[in-house]
Structure 1
Amino acid sequence: MVVLDRADTTLRHLTSYWETFRQKDDPKKSPAITALEDVLYAGREARIHVLYNGHINGSVLAPAAREQFATVILARVGEGTWQRLAPIAGPAPKSSPLPGRAHVVKDGAAHPTQALLMTDAEAADWLALTAAGEN
């Protein structure tokens, strides 16, 4: 499993770093971003799951790499963001005032869902109990 939190910031920093330190004969794109794209392409076949928290920036990841995400989870997004990230699912659903409401977009359909709201300590306790078979 590969987890990228604040991925848009991470990719922006990788791009900036590479532009600063790359040599004349080096590839234009950062090898780290190329490796991420390779993981995205091989992910399903190699059973690699990528959790990507952030904007899927068209100028950093290749369009074919962006299309490798099988499931998109969107919460509190406007029509523009919805159409960019989940156009196949139709227009953006009406937003909910309830905390933790999100939409899971899979196979061309949007499914409303409720996210678990936990503190870090609560999540750690829940994971420990689950791993111990107590929950």
Structure 2
Amino acid sequence: MRRLARYWEAFWQKDDLKTSPAITALEEALWAGRSARVHIILVGRPQISVLGAAAHELFVTVILARCTVETWQRLAPIAGPAPKQRRSPQGRVHVVQQCDAHETQAIWMTDADVVNWLTDPEDHES
């Protein structure tokens, strides 16, 4: 998002919109998401400077894996203090929803595994 904003600033013309249309579209999708039953998945961290603080709050579920205390405080402050780091965090994530955080097991899949699972969920061989 930050790169997109910088790109837009670099190539922005006088008659262009001040904000990138892609950023505007994401904001509109976030605002309509719950009412339209649209699920937005953002991998990375939402840039408050790009999206604005209000749009940042529209992410209902935050999933954090191997994050620093600083990242936890920025993205999940309502869930309390950051949990202590484990020696072997692989496969474990924290799901934060409505002021509550719980640790859960994550399924690690390659891109090919995901495509196969989405296109043929009955295929139990892969």
| TM-score for the superposition, normalised by structure 2 | 0.86
The one-letter code sitting in structure 1 at the alignment partner of 2:81 is P
Aligned: 1:59 with 2:49: yes
The one-letter code sitting in structure 2 at the alignment partner of 1:93 is P
Q: 1:98 to 1:12 in 2, by over 3 A?
A: closer
How many positions carry a matched residue from both structures?
123
CA distance in 2, matches of 1:24, 1:77: 41
How far 1:94 moved relative to its partner?
A: 1.3
SS at match of 1:50: coil
Match of 1:13 in 2: 3
Q: 1:105 to 1:28 in 2, by over 3 A?
A: same
Q: 1:38 to 1:95 in 2, by over 3 A?
A: same
Structure in which a larger fraction of residues adopt strand: 1
CA distance in 2, matches of 1:59, 1:72: 19
Verify the 8 A CA contact 1:72 1:104 in the aligned structure 2: yes
The aligned runs of 1:116-127 (5 Å cut-off) are 116-127=107-118
Aligned: 1:41 with 2:42: no
Aligned: 1:113 with 2:70: no
Q: Which moved more, 1:119-128 or 1:91-100?
A: 119-128
Verify the 8 A CA contact 2:66 2:89 in the aligned structure 1: no
How far 1:117 moved relative to its partner?
A: 1.9
Structure 2: 5+ residue runs without aligned partners? none
Bigger relative contact order, structure 1 or 2 (CA pairs below 8 A, ≥6 apart): 1
Counterpart of 1:68 (choices 39, 47, 58) is 58
Structure 1: 5+ residue runs without aligned partners? 1-10
The one-letter code sitting in structure 2 at the alignment partner of 1:49 is H
SS at match of 1:112: strand
Q: 1:134 to 1:44 in 2, by over 3 A?
A: same
Identity between Structure 1 and Structure 2 (%): 57
| TM-score for the superposition, normalised by structure 1 | 0.81
- Name the Cα RMSD after superposition: 1.8
